Structure 1
Amino acid sequence: MSTLVERHQHILEVLKEKGTVLVGDLCQDLNVSSVTIRKDLQFLEDKNKLFRTHGGATLTNPYIGDRPVIEKVAIQSAEKEKIGQYAAGLIEYNDSILIASGTTVFYLAKNIQPKGNVTVLTSALNVAIEIAHHPGIEVIQLGGIMRKTSSSVTGLYAEKILEDFSCSKLFLGVDGIDLEFGLTTTSMQEAQLNKKMIMAARKTIVLADSSKFGKRGLGKICTLEDIEQIITDSNISQHTVEQLEARGVEVTVLPL
C-alpha cells in the first residue's frame, strides 16, 4: 500500500495532468479504499490544494456565481473570438437557427456572414442588436422578463413562443460543463428556457471556452446526452475530450 505522502503526491500529479480526478480511479491506481481516498481529498482541500466535487476533486473552484455580461465578455476573449468564427461557418444557406444568451454566442453573432436569407431566433438582446443590420438576416426576438446581468429574456412567455418553431441548430452558451452533472448556467430561469430551446432545435451546438469545464452553475440545463457538439479551445485537457467523445459528443478543438 502506498504511503500517505505518496498518495497525496499522486493525486496532485493526476490533477495537474487532467484537471479533475475521480475517487474510483484513484482507488484503482493506489489500491486503497474509497474511505481512504475521501480522507485524502478532505485533507488536501483543507490545505487549499484542491476542491472536492461529487465523486472526485478538481483544481479550480467548480461553483460559479452570476456576473454581468459586460464583465464576462472580456474574459477569454481570444478563445471566444475563434469559437465564434468557427461556429459562424456552420450556418448554412437559408438556415433557421436559435442563438441563446451568453458572451461566447455574442462572438458568434459578430462573425455571422449570412448565406441567403437566414432566420435567427434569440433570447439575447445584444445578439439581436448585433445582427439587426444584416439585410440577409431576419431576427425574431423572444419576449419575456429581461434578465439584466445577461441582457436576455426568460420566462413562460419566451418558452411558449418556442413551441411554434423548429430550427436546424441551437447555438448554446453555458456557464459550466461537468462530466457527471451536465451543462449549467447561473440562472434557473435561463436554464429552463435553454431546455425549451434544445427541444426546438434538431441539433444543439455548445460554444464554450476551456475555462467552463469542471464548473457548475446553479441551474441545470441538460445532460451531455442531450447535445450533439461542443466547440472549444485547445486548453481543454485530452482526458476531458476523451470523456466527452465516449458520451457521444462531437468535440471540435480550435488551436489558439
Structure 2
Amino acid sequence: MINIAERHQYILNKIQTDGAIDVQSLCKKLNVSSVTIRKDLKLLEDKNLLFRTHGGATLNNPYTVDRPVNEKEHLQSAEKMRIGALAAGLIEDNDSIIIASGTTVLAMARCIKPKGNLTVLTSALNVALELLNHADVEIIQLGGLVRKSSASVAGPYSDNVLGNVFCSKLYLGVDGIDLEFGLTTTSASEAHLNKQMIESSQKVIVLADSTKFGKRGFGKICGIEAVDHIITDSGIPDQVKKGLEGHGIKVSII
C-alpha cells in the first residue's frame, strides 16, 4: 500500500492531467476507502492545491462570483457573439420569446433580425434598449427591483406578468452549469425569476460559453433535465458534452 505522500502526489498529478477527479475512481486506483480519499482532498484543498466538489475535486474554482455587467461583457466576447448569432437564427416568423439577462443573451439581442412581428419579454434593460429600434419587435419589459450588476430586474411584478403568458422559447444566460447540481446564477432573486420564465416557455435554450461548465453559483435555477438546448463554444470538455447529450439535451458548438 502506498503512503500518504505518494497518494497526494498521485492525486495532484491526476488532477493536473484531467482537470477534475472523482472519489470513487481514486478509491479503486489507490485501493483505499472513500473516507481516506476525502481526508486527502481536504488536506490538499487546505493547501490551496485543488477545490473539492460533490463527489470529487477540480483544479479550477467551481464557485462563481458576481461581477458588473460591463466587466463581464469583455470576457469571451468573441465566443458570446458567435453563440448569440446562432441563437438568434433559431427565432421563427411571428415568434414570441423570453430573453433573460446576461452578456451572452445581450450578444444574441444584437444579432436579431426579426422575421415578421416578434414579441420579446425580457428582464434585461440592456436587451430592451438594444431591440428598441426594431419596428417589428414588440418589447414587454418586466418590472421589479433593478440589479445594477446585471442591468436586469427581478421580483413579484415580473412573476405576475410571467404567470399570464406562454412563449415558444426562453433564451437563458447562466453563471454556472453543473451536471449534478444543474443551472445556477449568483443571485437568488434572479434564479427565482428564471424558474418562472422556464414555467412560461415551451423550450429552454441556454446560451453559455465554455467557462461556465463545472461552475456553481449561489442561486439554483433548475436541474439539468429542464434544458432542451445548449449553445456553447468548442472549449466545452468532451465528457461534459456527452453527459449533457445523455440527458437528452441538444448541444450546439460554434
Q: What TM-score bracket applies, with the shorter chain setting the length?
A: over 0.9
Give yes or no for contact 1:23–1:34 (8 Å, CA) kept in 2: yes
Write the letter of the residue equivalent to 2:97. I
Question: Where do 1:38-77 residues align within 5 Å?
Answer: 38-77=38-77
Extract unaligned runs of 5+ from structure 2. Answer: none
Write the letter of the residue equivalent to 2:242. E
Residues 1:28 and 2:28 aligned together: yes
Aligned-pair identity in percent equals: 62
Question: Where do 1:127-206 residues align within 5 Å?
Answer: 127-206=127-206
- CA-atom RMSD, angstroms? 1.6
Q: How many matched pairs?
A: 254
Runs of 4 or more, structure 1, over 4 Å off, are 1-6
Is the alpha carbon distance of 1:229 and 1:17 closer, same or farther for their aligned partners in structure 2, counting shifts above 3 Å? Answer: farther
**2:119 paired residue number:** 119
Q: 1:52-101: CA deviations, max 9, x gaps?
A: 11221111111222111111111111111111111111111111110000
Distance 1:236 1:138 in 2: 35
Give yes or no for contact 1:175–1:216 (8 Å, CA) kept in 2: yes
Distance 2:18 2:201 in 1: 33
Give yes or no for contact 1:18–1:240 (8 Å, CA) kept in 2: no
**1:246 paired residue number:** 246
Write the letter of the residue equivalent to 1:173. G
Q: 1:183-212: CA deviations, max 9, x gaps?
A: 111111100000000000000011111111
Give yes or no for contact 1:99–1:170 (8 Å, CA) kept in 2: yes
Write the letter of the residue equivalent to 2:28. Q
Distance 1:15 1:213 in 2: 17
**2:87 paired residue number:** 87
Residues 1:237 and 2:237 aligned together: yes
Distance 1:17 1:90 in 2: 37
Extract unaligned runs of 5+ from structure 1. Answer: none
Write the letter of the residue equivalent to 1:207. L
